[in-house]
Structure 1
Amino acid sequence: MMGLQDKREKLWSAYAGENCEAAYNELVNSYLPLVRFIVSRLNFKLPNHLEQEDLVSYGIFGLMEAIKKFDWTRGVKFETYASQRIRGAVVDALRREQWAPRSVADKLKAVQRAYQKFENEGITDVSEEQLAEEMGISLEALRDTMTEISQLSVVSLDEFLHGQEVDSISRADTISDPKSPNPAARVLEEEFRDYLAAAIEELPEKDRVVISLYYYEELTLREIGMILEVSESRVSQLHARALMRLREKLNKYMGTSSVNGE
């Protein structure tokens, strides 16, 4: 009996070589579980008029677009490429539904500036109270802000850290497939991953645990909260804080400054 991977390779060959509509439809059906998996991992409150199945529908449009534009000769794993397209389609749809206000980006920069000031003073373990006081807002407002920032992580970790567009191929994609024909890209990616691993190790313990459980063990924020014995809201705050710290470290690595918006 033909395995799933063998079946998919046969479908890709038929679609790429003959632009076979039947193969295209079968590819869409074959990767539907990927759409559902990605949607199940998204962390945000939906508008009252939307349900999870609506997100699945948006994600399917992203999947269909990914299949049409994917170049399987590049040696990149389709799942990695499609995941960005699927997330992007969902996020774009939610933005059209006015889910993500423009002010969230401004709040992100404000929090980053506050964290940067503490780090410049040699203070790395900043409490919520200290951060709220520095920003001149209430503790409740800070927690709401951190939750909003955490919700931005519906895109991949690589996209959030580097501010990449969903349409682009991330550096992680270049080594997602061991058959990748670009050895130079693989060397650069390995160097980047080493730096990312070191940056994660420098995070406070709880931040590090949240990143590990969410992105590598693929647990939900609620499941992580149960493990850490804290609320889902608190995990969301830790998640946002960790992402911002990582982004700042990696921007320095890349020679840019996200705080200054450059």
Structure 2
Amino acid sequence: MFGKYLAELKQIKLLEPAAEKELWRGYKEEGNLDCRQALIEHYQPLVFKTAARWRHDERAIMDIIQEGTVGLIEAVETFDYTKGVAFSLYAVHRIRGRMLNYLEREGKYSRNVADPAALAPYDSEDLDSWENMLVDSGKAISQQAEENFLAGQVKTALERLPLKEKYVLSGVYLNEQEPKILAEALDISLSHMYRLQKQGVRRLRGMLSKLMQHW
């Protein structure tokens, strides 16, 4: 089944921007379901690319891909092509959110498997974002450690967070994603998203405080 799926992916050809726009117009303005199906098929490689970040056996990967495809369909149905935003940027949140929910629900998520959004490379700007977020009324963490040490400790602490908290904090502070989009991707309310954010920050502060005590 997985081999057949890969073979089908290889048959998908990239659309020219004008051709893709015409498909969006046909679906959104005329209700043409053939255009809808063409868009779903065209962006199926995005689902596979997202699913491939998790190392599972072929059967599990197909389950993850199936969930991601549901997210892709939802994205196609809710996307406003007139806004000038790239569909892939819009859709990947829905796709990844569906996959994360599935993995968490089925207990198949491993903390040794890197979520691409949550474990993105840390550069100096990322570090500044984390420091600003974690500064308490007392000393700033940056006063207690060198920048490279802090980056490593933040990454270690981030890996230990519950899946959804890690996804939310990475999206907000590292990738500067809109809270509303993150909430939609995880299929939760905005208020729930903010609760996850607050809980994640509190956990990070606690973990980093303990790590610093042993430094």
Q: TM-score, normalised by structure 1?
A: 0.44
Deviations 1:181-211 (A, max 9, x none): xxxxxxxxxxxxxxxxxxxxxxxxxxxxxxx
Match of residue 28 from structure 2: 16
Alignment gaps of 5+ in structure 1: 102-111, 132-141, 169-250
Aligned partner (choices 26, 30, 40) of residue 28 of structure 1: 40
- 1:113-192 matches, within 5 Å, as 119-120=140-141, 122-125=143-146, 147-149=159-161, 157-159=170-172, 161=174, 164=179, 165-167=182-184
Q: Whole-Å Cα distance in 2 between the matches of residues 49 and 61 of structure 1?
A: 19
Please tell me the root mean square deviation across aligned C-alpha atoms, in Å: 4.4
Q: Whole-Å Cα distance in 2 between the matches of residues 72 and 23 of structure 1?
A: 13
**What amino acid does structure 1 have at the position aligned with 2:184?**
D
Give the length in aligned residue pairs: 148
Q: Whole-Å Cα distance in 1 between the matches of residues 83 and 89 of structure 2?
A: 13
**What amino acid does structure 2 have at the position aligned with 1:73?**
T
Aligned partner (choices 80, 84, 92) of residue 101 of structure 2: 92
Mapped pair 1:75 → 2:87? no
Contact 1:87 1:154 in 2 (8 A): no
Match of residue 69 from structure 2: 60
Kindly state the Cα deviation for residue 91 of structure 1 after the two structures are TM-superposed. Answer: 0.9
Q: Matched residue of 1:51: which SS?
A: helix
Q: Whole-Å Cα distance in 1 between the matches of residues 61 and 199 of structure 2?
A: 36
Q: TM-score, normalised by structure 2?
A: 0.52
Kindly state the Cα deviation for residue 120 of structure 1 after the two structures are TM-superposed. Answer: 4.5
| Over 6 Å off, 4+ runs | 112-118
Alignment gaps of 5+ in structure 2: 1-13, 111-130, 186-196, 204-215
**What amino acid does structure 2 have at the position aligned with 1:61?**
V
Contact 2:94 2:184 in 1 (8 A): yes
